[in-house]
Amino acid sequence: MITNILLKKGYLKGYLPKADSAMIQPMFPAANVAIRKAALDEVGLFDTVCKTSGEDLDLCIRMAKTKWELFFEPRAIVRHKHRTTLLGLLKQWYGYGRYHAYIFKKHSPKCIQIHYRSEESPASWGSIRISKIFGLTFPFRILVFVTPFHILNICLLLALSAIIIKSHWLLTVALAAWFAGWLYFSGRPFFQNVIIKRNSRWIIYSMLRYILNWAYVLGAFLAGIRIGIISIEVTREQTPLV
């Protein structure tokens, strides 16, 4: 899901900016949002197809198409109980991706949409849309979010390919790019946390985030294939480690 509050640090109090694409709209999870009854009367209630996830994203997308706006109040505090086991977290994140595929299909036309981070965009995301090929309307829905997580795994795939074809220079470049991507993905300077502070939690949380993102992406991709959309889900990159 695209969440300006979660994906853009330091967001200040006020109204969240809307964007042109339905997939790049501001939203709040249902666990920490209050919605006016008049807004619900206009845009409708939760979509009951979304049994475990996505109903809040769908509702916020529908609201973004109207005059209603989302307001961020940093003083509001919500206490939320999180999963306490790795299996529980994996099921939760897989479920997020699983039902997001349905939301993406519901709000996406038949075209290729590629979204990437861009500070020039009001919502910090840029978009490329291809709706026609050789003058013909594109017959499928393909939605791709380019994030450091995906680039990280492409570098890993290149490294494995270099081993198979025995290309030392490609292996060196791919591993260097993977390591740089991992430092960004983990969200903290490697030498400061691991070498100087000897903070093993940094590595543990980074690996946990990596595994959960895989569950998230696989949930969206596999569910998307079943309903007729190729969905490469957006991911959250940095760990909340002090």
pLDDT digits (tens, 9 = 90+) for 48-107: 888 777 888 899 999 988 999 989 888 888 777 778 888 998 998 998 888 889 999 999
User: Taking the model in full, what pTM does it have?
Assistant: 0.80
pLDDT surpassing 80 at residue 147:
yes
Residue 7 pLDDT level (bands cut at 50, 70, 90): very low
Q: Residue 238 falls within a domain, yes or no? A: no
- Average the pLDDT over each of 103-107, 218-222, 233-237 and give the range with the smallest value: 233-237
Question: 239 in a domain, yes or no?
Answer: no
What is the average pLDDT score of the chain? 81
Does residue 242 lie within any of the structural domains?
A: no
Q: With a cut of 70, say whether residue 186 has pLDDT above it.
A: no
Give the Å distances, CA to CA, from 227 to 47, 131, 221, 231, 237. 17, 20, 10, 11, 27
pLDDT, residue 185, reads 66
Domain count, the chain: 1
Would you say 104 and 142 are in contact if contact means Cβ atoms under 8 Å apart?
no
pLDDT at 241: 37
Q: Is residue 190 assigned to a domain?
A: yes
Residue 87 lies in a domain: yes
Three-class secondary structure of residue 160 per DSSP: helix
Q: Tell whether the model's pLDDT for residue 139 goes beyond 60.
A: yes
pLDDT of residue 135: 84
Judge whether 194 lies within some domain.
Answer: yes
User: Is residue 241 a part of any domain in this protein?
Assistant: no
Question: Residue 33: which domain range?
Answer: 4-232
The two tokens of residue 209 are 């985030």
User: Residue 67 has which token pair?
Assistant: 């005059």
Cα 107 from chain centroid (whole Å): 16
Residue ranges with strand state E in 24-108 = 71-72
Report d(CA 77, CA 97) in Å as an integer: 26
Which stretch of 30-34, 135-139, 180-184 has the lowest confidence by average pLDDT? Answer: 180-184
Query: Is 114 domain-assigned?
Result: yes
Give the pLDDT score at 215: 93
